[in-house]
Structure formats: structure tokens, C-alpha cells
């Protein structure tokens, strides 16, 4: 099989690494890819926003299967256009990608199909939103409706903070994504991420993970795209996974199909495990980054036939096997991230992988043959262990061998799980 992978982050490096191990693979291309992905794939300079160019490339190279990593091309309808051109594609249609592209869309779906989530209202202007906040009181959550790179959410502990967040959204802090606002009840509990594939009819549960969104140790400071993650998430017991499938995932699959938007791809469900059970915080319609890195480390099965079955409606024919080990990833980011940071700083040394640990590339590039950091999140040092404590020790041992003066990482990824393991 000839495969084209779309994307350039740590998530796509992990996907490329796994796909490259498949005996079914003849050739892997990645657009645009990064120097880590280049170890497994031929990189192609394609403008992913130019769907006709992607299709022309796929035809020219006789690509059998396209795997779309990030959300933006999905929300822009790349999967629809590829499928219309007769090319099998992993990733939901533009209509189904609204599950990630519009928080209001997802909340309305939950309301229609009795999927547990926080009570909410949608607003197109500030005054009625503020009125609702005053009625409900704090804590309360304010969300820009559209894609805001994980930054459009304010968990407001006071009414004043909530009112300010509403003004920020409507004043354009998140651009067009903030033209509509969802105000949502605060859910109290422990968060977890759940990954599950769907071909539109059948569901295949993958695995669970927990990430660290805040930039600083102890989960402090501003939100980021994710500073580290581990899998499995201890709060997601088999009973909780079963409830999540029954109460959240299955009604989503049947509801989306009923509404004429069958979902094919991966559900990345952000959950709050409350006293009542699992409640949906949000859906993403692609693998998490860096959650994907820990999932791919733990996946024993060949990834390629699983993704292909998802895209071609044969998910009932495949299974996914997982290592029992925990996997943990630490994100090395450019100093200053998630604020302004220097670009093109030199990375003098990236240690080679071992049996238990591996470094995935995210925002890296080669400049004059030398590796440099071009993004906010740059390297993902990922390791196994018999538990999170051991995986963490291995990941930091490897991270400390990276030579990159402008890099930093959190030192406490996995702390909740490790506290549990010590208890």
C-alpha cells in the first residue's frame, strides 16, 4: 500500500513511525513532514490547503490511502475532496468534523441524543451571555465556539472573570472562532482522554490518556497545546470505559449517522469523570498531540490495517492489542512558549532511541544540514515503563541527554498517576 500522511507534528511522527512498521506498506510519503518523519517517509512539499494539489499528487504517485493528522484540513473538507476523487482517506468529512470545529454543534448533538455533558447556552452577542452568567453564577466555563488552538476556553472561578472572558471573545481575541460563545456549567471531577475509532457504524475503543495542558509544574501558568501525557489514564477503569462507550460514543455514532453526518475517523473525547460518571467536555476529531505519541508506543497491533478499516467501513473486522506497560511523553518546548519564542535555535544533539524510549520530532527543521527548533513544541521524549513512575524516570533520563540550550520542559509529567502509584 502507498500511503500519504498529512501533517508535521509529533503526532504525525508517531503515526509515521508506526505506519512504517507495517508489512502492508510499500511506500510512505508525508506532507509537509519534519526531520523526524523523514526517517520513515519521503517528504513532499505540498500546500495542504490546496486540495486539488494534494489530489494531483496522490494520483501521480498512485497513493492508495491518505491519513490526515491535524484538524484544520479536516474542518476545511480535505477528506471529502480526497474521497470524491476516489482516494481512501482516514479522517472525518467536513460536516462530521464540526464535532471539533464547533463547540455549539457538539453541545446541540449531546442535547438531542441525551449524551451527558454540562448544561449550556449558545450566544452570538455579549449582553445575553453576561446575563446568563449572572443568573448561573461562578464557577462557570466560557468557550469560543470555533477552533482556537486549545486556547479559547476560560474556566472562570469568579463572575468577573467570566464576564471578562465573554468580552475577550466578542472583542476578537480568538478571531472568527469567538464570533459565537458557549457558556457551560463547570464540571467537577478528574479529566481523562478517551480515543475510539469509528467507521460510521462500528466503534473500536483504543486507549485512554491524560495530558498536562498548563505550561508550568504543578499544572500552573497558561494553557498550551499539551506539555506531556501518559497512557493509560488510571481513572478510566474498564467499567468507566464501558460506560463511556454506551453513554457517550455509541449515541454519538448513531446520532451523527441519523443526522446525515456519519463519522469516520478517530474520536478524541475529553471527559470529566464526575460523581455521576463520565461527562463529555469536548470532542476532537483527530489524535491528540502529544497523546498520540503515548498511544502509538503502547499499540502492539499493526496500525495501518486498523486505520484503513476505519476509512473503508470494515472496522468490525479488526482489533487493537495494547501493551500493558504505561507510556509517558515529555514535551520539550522553546523558552517563552506558549508566548513569543525565538525561532531557529540550534539543537546540538538528539539522543537515539532505545528499546524503552524514543524522541519524536514536532517543531524541528533542517537548516543548512543542522537541526533547529522552529516551533513552540519541538521534541517529545517518550518512554515505556511497568508503571508511570518508571516511564517518567526513563523519559526524563532521555530528555536530559537532549542538547538544546533554548529548550525547556515540565519536570512533573505524570504527577497525579505517580502519587497514586505511591499511595
Distance of closest approach, residue 224 Cβ to ligand GLY, in angstroms:
8
Among 155, 353, 393, 397, binds ligand AMP (CB under 6 A): 155
Residue 281 makes contact with ligand AMP by CB under 6 A: yes
Residue pointed to by grid coordinates 517517509: 41
Q: Which residues are near ligand GLY by CB under 6 A?
A: 150, 211, 225-226, 284, 288-289, 291
Q: How far apart are CA 237 and CA 372, in angstroms?
A: 41
Instruction: Give 274's strand partners.
Output: 277
Q: Which DSSP category does 194 fall into?
A: E
Binding partner of 118, given ligand GLY, ligand AMP, none, CB within 5-8 angstroms per partner class: ligand AMP
Residue 156 makes contact with ligand AMP by CB under 6 A: no
Residue 110 makes contact with ligand AMP by CB under 6 A: no
Q: Which DSSP category does 378 fall into?
A: E
What does residue 89 show for φ and ψ, rounded to 5 degrees? -140, 135
Which pairing describes strands 42-43 and 27-32: parallel, antiparallel, or unpaired?
Answer: parallel
Fill in the per-residue mask, 114 to 153: x = in contact with ligand AMP (CB under 6 A), - = not in contact. ----x----------------------x--------x--x
Residue 325 C-alpha cell reads as 506497560
Q: How far apart are CA 297 and CA 10, in angstroms?
A: 13
Angle subtended by helix axes 126-136 and 159-170, to nearest 10: 160
Binding partner of 184, given ligand AMP, ligand GLY, none, CB within 5-8 angstroms per partner class: ligand AMP
Distance of closest approach, residue 407 Cβ to ligand AMP, in angstroms:
25
Contact 286, 147 (CB under 8 A): no
Judged on CB neighbours under 10 Å (0-12, 13-18, 19+), 126 is: middle
Q: Which DSSP category does 139 fall into?
A: S
Please report the beta strands in 18-166, taking only residues with DSSP state E, as ranges in sequence order: 27-32, 42-43, 65-68, 88-90, 120-123, 140-144, 153-156
- 87 versus 269: smaller Cβ distance to ligand GLY: 269
- 201 versus 214: smaller Cβ distance to ligand AMP: 214
- List the alpha helices (DSSP H) in 159-262: 159-170, 238-244, 250-258
- 229 versus 303: smaller Cβ distance to ligand AMP: 229
Distance of closest approach, residue 24 Cβ to ligand GLY, in angstroms:
27
Distance of closest approach, residue 62 Cβ to ligand GLY, in angstroms:
32
Among 255, 270, 305, 351, binds ligand AMP (CB under 6 A): 270
Q: Contact region for ligand AMP (CB under 6 A) — 2-10, 183-191, 392-400, 415-423?
A: 183-191
Which residues make up the interface to ligand AMP (CB under 6 A)? 118, 141, 150, 153, 155, 184, 186-187, 191, 213, 270, 281-282
Amino acid at each position: 500500500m502507498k500511503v500519504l500522511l498529512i501533517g508535521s507534528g509529533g503526532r504525525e511522527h508517531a503515526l509515521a513511525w508506526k505506519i512504517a512498521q507495517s508489512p502492508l506498506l510499500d511506500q510512505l510519503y508525508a506532507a509537509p513532514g519534519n526531520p523526524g518523519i523523514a526517517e520513515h517517509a519521503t517528504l513532499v512539499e505540498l500546500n495542504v490547503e490546496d486540495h486539488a494539489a494534494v489530489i494531483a499528487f496522490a494520483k501521480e504517485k498512485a497513493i492508495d490511502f491518505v491519513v490526515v493528522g491535524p484538524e484544520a484540513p479536516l474542518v476545511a473538507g480535505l477528506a471529502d475532496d480526497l474521497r470524491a476523487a476516489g482516494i481512501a482517506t482516514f479522517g472525518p468529512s467536513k460536516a462530521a468534523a464540526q464535532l471539533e470545529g464547533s463547540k455549539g454543534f457538539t453541545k446541540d448533538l449531546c442535547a438531542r441524543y441525551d449524551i451527558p455533558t454540562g448544561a449550556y447556552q449558545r450566544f452570538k452577542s455579549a449582553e445575553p451571555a453576561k446575563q446568563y452568567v449572572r443568573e448561573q453564577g461562578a464557577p462557570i466555563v466560557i468557550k469560543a465556539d470555533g477552533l482556537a488552538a486549545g486556547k479559547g476556553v476560560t474556566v472562570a472561578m469568579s463572575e468577573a472573570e467570566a464576564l471578562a472572558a465573554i468580552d475577550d471573545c466578542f472583542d476578537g481575541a480568538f478571531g472568527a472562532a469567538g464570533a459565537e460563545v458557549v457558556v457551560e456549567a463547570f464540571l467537577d471531577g478528574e479529566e481523562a482522554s478517551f480515543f475510539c475509532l469509528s467507521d460510521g457504524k462500528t466503534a473500536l475503543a483504543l486507549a485512554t490518556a491524560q495530558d498536562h495542558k498548563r505550561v508550568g509544574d504543578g499544572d500552573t501558568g497558561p494553557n498550551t497545546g499539551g506539555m506531556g501525557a501518559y497512557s493509560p489514564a488510571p481513572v478510566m477503569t474498564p467499567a468507566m470505559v464501558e460506560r463511556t462507550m454506551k453513554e457517550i460514543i455509541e449515541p454519538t455514532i448513531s446520532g451523527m449517522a441519523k443526522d446525515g453526518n456519519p463519522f469516520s475517523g478517530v474520536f478524541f473525547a475529553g471527559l470529566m469523570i464526575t460523581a455521576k460518571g463520565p461527562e463529555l467536555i469536548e470532542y476532537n476529531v483527530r489524535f491528540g498531540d502529544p497523546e498520540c505519541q503515548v498511544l502509538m508506543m503502547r499499540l502492539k497491533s499493526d496500525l495501518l490495517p486498523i486505520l484503513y478499516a476505519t476509512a473503508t467501513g470494515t472496522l468490525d473486522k479488526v482489533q487493537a492489542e495494547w501493551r500493558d506497560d504505561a507510556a509517558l511523553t515529555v514535551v520539550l518546548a522553546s523558552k517563552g512558549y506558549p508566548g513569543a519564542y525565538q525561532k531557529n535555535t540550534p539543537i546540538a544533539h538528539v539522543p537515539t532511541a532505545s528499546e524503552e524510549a524514543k524522541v519524536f520530532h514536532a517543531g524541528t527543521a533542517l537548516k543548512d544540514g543542522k537541526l533547529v527548533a522552529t516551533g513552540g513544541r519541538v521534541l517529545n521524549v517518550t518512554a515505556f515503563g511497568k508503571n508511570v513512575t518508571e516511564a517518567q524516570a526513563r523519559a526524563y533520563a532521555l530528555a536530559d541527554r537532549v542538547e538544546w540550550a533554548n529548550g525547556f520542559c515540565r519536570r512533573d509529567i505524570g504527577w497525579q498517576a505517580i502519587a497514586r502509584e505511591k499511595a
